[in-house]
């Protein structure tokens, strides 16, 4: 592996979702890791770029000054912000949602995906995409699917854990890939609607 390859690998490494979830829980954040990442991606699609501080304010809400746990949490969020900024516009397809690993039960992963989709829709609104925004047809349809996935996922979270089948696992994998590619399509279509961002 060349030095450049190593640099790309380290830059494209997302924080561990369980560790970030725990950090967010300890500071009484407004949302968990999956939903936070969905919000970030929604805001990025709406704006093209987003300041770290603006996204963090949505994730953490009001925080007490001097909270010693905040530093580690903000550091992890900063890493997630950086890698997401790089990958969501990467034509090589390196973008992935922050979701639990395959070793977590299917209900837990389904609920995390629901939270992610819920966060994405919220992030679009926070980024300035309102009900009055004239969206391309594909984007509108995908967003409606995201809303349905978020509802179905929370319903699955209320169900009892049954033995999952290979068909269940395959169906989940297909939905995750649909959401992932849907985000990339939405991002591509919305960038034609927003001016080039200027960050200060």
Q: pLDDT under 70 in the chain at which residues? A: 1-12, 66, 154-163, 193-200
Q: Do the Cβ atoms of 179 and 97 come closer than 8 Å? A: yes
Q: How far apart are CA 104 and CA 18, in angstroms?
A: 11
For position 6, what pLDDT does the model report? Answer: 26
CA-based nearest residue to 188, from 48, 22, 13: 48
Class of domain 3-190: mainly alpha
pTM, whole model, 2 decimals? 0.85
- Residue 11's pLDDT is what? 44
Q: What is the pLDDT of residue 10?
A: 35
Calpha distance 124→78 (Å, rounded): 20
CA distance 105 to 188: 33
Kindly list the domain boundaries of the chain, sorted by start residue.
Answer: 3-190
Closest CA to 36 of 118, 127, 148: 118
**pLDDT digit string (tens) for 20-34?**
999 999 999 999 999
From 11, 167, 168, 28, select the one nearest 79 (Cα to Cα).
11
What does the DSSP assignment read for 99-125?
A: ---TTS-HHHHHHHHHHHHHHHHHHHH
Residue located via tokens 């992935």: 96
Q: What is the pLDDT of residue 147?
A: 94
Q: Which two tokens stand for residue 44?
A: 């990025």
């Amino acid at each position: 592996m060349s030095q450049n390859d190593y640099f790309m690998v380290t830059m494209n490494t997302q924080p561990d979702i369980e560790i970030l979830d725990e950090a967010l829980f300890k500071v009484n954040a407004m949302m968990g890791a999956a939903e936070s990442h969905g919000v970030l991606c929604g805001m990025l699609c709406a704006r093209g770029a987003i300041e770290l501080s603006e996204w963090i304010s949505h994730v953490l809400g009001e925080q007490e000054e001097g909270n010693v746990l905040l530093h580690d949490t903000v550091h992890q969020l900063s890493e997630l912000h950086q890698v997401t900024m790089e990958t969501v516009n990467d034509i090589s397809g390196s973008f992935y949602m922050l979701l639990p690993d395959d070793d977590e039960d299917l209900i837990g992963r389904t609920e995390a995906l629901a939270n992610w989709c819920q966060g994405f829709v919220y992030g679009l609104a926070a980024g300035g995409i309102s009900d009055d925004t004239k969206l391309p047809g594909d984007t509108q349809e995908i967003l409606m699917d995201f809303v349905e996935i978020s509802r179905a996922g929370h319903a699955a979270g209320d169900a009892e854990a049954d033995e999952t089948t290979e068909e269940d696992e395959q169906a989940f994998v297909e939905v995750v890939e649909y959401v992932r590619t849907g985000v990339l399509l939405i991002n591509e279509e919305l960038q034609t609607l927003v001016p080039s961002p200027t960050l200060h």
